[in-house]
Amino acid sequence: MWSFETDPEFQVQLDWMQDFVREKVEPLDYRFPGHGAPYDVANRESRAAILPLQQEVRARGLWACHLGAHLGGPGYGQVKLGLMNEILGRSYWAPTVFGTAAPDTGNAEILAMFGTEEQKARYLAPLMAGNIVSCFSMTEPHAGADPTEFICRAWQEQNAWVIDGEKWFSSNARFAAFLIVMAVTDPEAPAHRRMSMFIVPVDTPGIVFLRHVQTMGDAIGQDDGTHAYIRYDHVRVPADAMLGGPGEGFKVAQARLGGGRVHHAMRTVGKCQRAIDMMLERAVSRRTKGRPLADHQFVQGMIADSLIELEQFRLLVLKAAWTIDEVEAGRRPEHAARTLIAMCKVQMAKVYHDIVQRAIQLHGSLGVTLETPLAAMWMGLPSIALADGPTEVHKVQVAKAFLRETKPAKGLFPSEHIPTRKEALSA
């Protein structure tokens, strides 16, 4: 039976979140700006400001809800997380206030799934408490996100692993207490069995920050970027630093990235909704040609297109979330959500681009200034198309999934060839 209703008790929580994020959390985006601000646990002023907000979230039972019940979390499921993340996506600080900031969410999931009890106590517990932040150090400067091209190596020496190589775009590494590093441990193994995953404390000797890379929207000429270019110069970690088993690095990464992609899409719904809210307000507030903007058909068309596209995308995201819940409940096979997650990743960048572009257009010259959130939204667009794997890779994945299930036509003409079908009827 199909239903598009939210549980009434949970709707009360969502309503509280809406008001809380708008009134108390969104102001943090202006008080403490900057891409890395929410991750800087050493900033006493920002920590003092968010601590009481985090306590309010905890009191409502909404803190760090991303872990399922089987991983020690509240077990909300992906549909409820989707509805929550729509709200959190409105503010850059909101995920930190609610204990669901990436990449910590994904790192927490794989620590819960693959970590030993000792690893959980040392790394997962303080991460879930919000006392530290972490980094996922996977991509490499020559290979991007393609793990089959990675060359950062790790080998055993006595009772230790030695990691040597370079990693690129390791987000938030400058603020992290530990890094989760993917390295090649068996170069001769099949492509997806070559790598293993390691937990590396950030103060381990041999970790060299070559630079902290800036992205669009950062001030040029300042070394305040949040994406580290790292050299691992014969970094030694204990034998028990491995996360999962030898050769399971790709498996661990996929377990992490699948959930991360759908959560990213959920938050993008919230960003798009905020842009639409701005469009609607602008349309009824400003006039041109003697009439409100809202009376002009071009404006009405832009608003309608945006509302329809977002509703379609939102339903796709929620279907993917529902399917993940079905998989985790054992009612569907493990691969059931994979194609839907890829679809979300593909559509996310397109919908976000089109809606934000229209919002900027409706705001006129104000839209291209730094005096509204729209400029920061626009600057974040290229990252959305590249993060968690380039959009093109996911398009290929979607197409292949359907092509594998498609059988070729039996005869000379397509199966929908009208003369052939008529002939079959008269036979």
The confidence score (pLDDT) of residue 280 equals 98
Q: Is residue 234 part of a domain?
A: yes
The confidence score (pLDDT) of residue 51 equals 97
Q: Tell me the backbone φ, ψ of residue 16, rounded to 5 degrees.
A: -65, -45
Q: Is residue 409 part of a domain?
A: no
DSSP 231-258: EEEEEEEEGGGEESSTT-HHHHHHHHHH
Q: Tell me the backbone φ, ψ of residue 287, rounded to 5 degrees.
A: -125, 150
If one counts every other C-beta atom within 10 angstroms of the C-beta of residue 287, the result is 12
Per-residue pLDDT of the chain (427 residues; tens, 9 = 90+): 678 889 999 999 999 999 999 999 999 999 998 878 999 999 999 999 999 999 999 999 999 998 877 666 787 889 999 999 999 999 999 999 999 998 999 899 899 999 999 999 999 999 999 999 999 999 999 998 888 899 999 999 999 999 999 999 999 999 999 999 999 999 999 988 999 999 999 999 999 999 999 888 776 666 678 999 999 999 999 999 999 999 999 888 877 766 677 888 999 999 999 999 999 999 999 999 999 999 999 999 999 999 999 999 999 999 999 999 898 888 998 888 999 999 999 999 999 999 999 999 999 999 999 999 999 999 999 988 888 788 999 999 999 999 999 999 999 999 999 999 999 898 7
Q: Tell me the backbone φ, ψ of residue 386, rounded to 5 degrees.
A: -110, -30
147 within 8 A of 155, measured Cβ to Cβ: no
The confidence score (pLDDT) of residue 385 equals 87
Task: Tell me the CATH number at 88.
Answer: 1.10.540.10
**pTM of the predicted protein model:** 0.91
Q: Are residues 97 and 57 in the same domain?
A: yes
Q: Is residue 341 part of a domain?
A: yes
Q: Are residues 99 and 168 in the same domain?
A: no
Closest by alpha carbon to 267, among 57, 89, 76?
A: 89
Q: Is residue 421 part of a domain?
A: no
Q: Are residues 186 and 218 in the same domain?
A: yes
Tell me how many domains the chain contains.
3
372: exposed, middle or buried (Cβ count in 10 Å: 0-12, 13-18, 19+)? middle
Maximum alpha-carbon separation in the chain: 83
Q: What angle do CA 29, 31, 33 make, to 5 degrees?
A: 55
The confidence score (pLDDT) of residue 258 equals 61
The residues pairing with 227 across neighbouring beta strands, listed in sequence order, are 171, 213
Q: Is residue 23 part of a domain?
A: yes
Domain finish residue from 98, 129, 160: 129
Q: Are residues 138 and 123 in the same domain?
A: no
The confidence score (pLDDT) of residue 218 equals 76
Amino acid at 397: Q
Which structure tokens are listed for 112? 């819960």
The confidence score (pLDDT) of residue 296 equals 97
The confidence score (pLDDT) of residue 222 equals 63
Containing structural domain, residue 314: 250-404
Domain finish residue from 114, 129, 144: 129
Q: Are residues 272 and 233 in the same domain?
A: no
Q: What is the 3-state secondary structure (H, E, C) of 322-336?
A: HHHHHHHCCCCCHHH
Q: Are residues 399 and 254 in the same domain?
A: yes
Q: Are residues 396 and 269 in the same domain?
A: yes
The confidence score (pLDDT) of residue 259 equals 66
SS3 assignment, position 290: coil
Q: Are residues 352 and 389 in the same domain?
A: yes
Task: Tell me the CATH number at 293.
Answer: 1.20.140.10
The confidence score (pLDDT) of residue 223 equals 66
Write the CB contacts of 42 (distance below 8 Å, at least 6 apart in sequence): 175
Q: Are residues 256 and 316 in the same domain?
A: yes
The confidence score (pLDDT) of residue 192 equals 87
Q: Are residues 189 and 214 in the same domain?
A: yes
The confidence score (pLDDT) of residue 379 equals 92
Pairing of strands 178-184, 134-137: parallel
Domain finish residue from 210, 228, 243: 243
Q: Are residues 90 and 13 in the same domain?
A: yes
Q: Are residues 182 and 213 in the same domain?
A: yes
SS3 assignment, position 232: strand
Task: Tell me the CATH number at 148.
Answer: 2.40.110.10
Q: Is residue 420 part of a domain?
A: no
Q: Is residue 3 part of a domain?
A: no
3 within 8 A of 79, measured Cβ to Cβ: no
